[in-house]
Structure 1
Amino acid sequence: MIAFIKNSTLDSIKKKLFILYLLNVTDIIFTLLLLQTGYFAEVNILMVNAVKSPFASFMLKIILPALLLYYLYRKICISDTSQLRAANIGINISLTLYTLVNLSHLVWTALLPVFMRMNY
């Protein structure tokens, strides 16, 4: 795992970008599902209004990131070794943050029965 994190080859970065995209998609899925319970609110000020519309959520969290990550990948393809290392650091930071966000969603999902029992 440590080797994968440190690896800044183009192939490794491509895999990390794919994982980042999957974490982004699971973030919006978890967010929308948790919001539907009525026990949770969106805390990301950039997404508060977007989550009110499934279409806006889809565009902002699935289509736009796919396009941006593809653009980033195309730019990374023509990068030198030092640029690949810098990109790898930024991508690893993003992966860490999105992993924490998804873990938080998992914790809230696990705690959902507790919240539901408190209402009875």
Structure 2
Amino acid sequence: MQNGPTNGGLGVEFGNGMVAVGGSGGGGGRGKRKAALEEVSLDKAMQQKQRRIIKTRESAARSRERKRAYIGGLESLVTQLEEENARILKEEAELKKARYKQLMENLIPVTEKRRPPRVLRRACSMIW
């Protein structure tokens, strides 16, 4: 326990941040002591609220940073996969072209054979 001079003469300050405020003695000051304790409690509540707000902001900042790192990783992966996809498509086109060329070289040229002219024949309409 510490004495009043450290907290501006308000009363007794405890190690956990609570301050006990004493009256002028005699018990005749109704409500003043309670009002002073409420003010100190409100101050403590405000400090806790501020700490909670700060913690929340820090947590949100860490979360945003993690999200940025994750998105950066995804973007680099997308770039890498797009490059790989373009390379594979180019390779596929080259292979198709080579295959077509090979088929054209090995293909036996098919030309229409002309039918021989029809030979005129006598119809067997008579018996010999």
TM-score by length of 2: 0.32
Larger radius of gyration, structure 1 or 2? 2
Between structures 1 and 2, the one with greater helix share: 1
Q: Which has the higher contact order (CA 8 A, sep 6+)?
A: 1
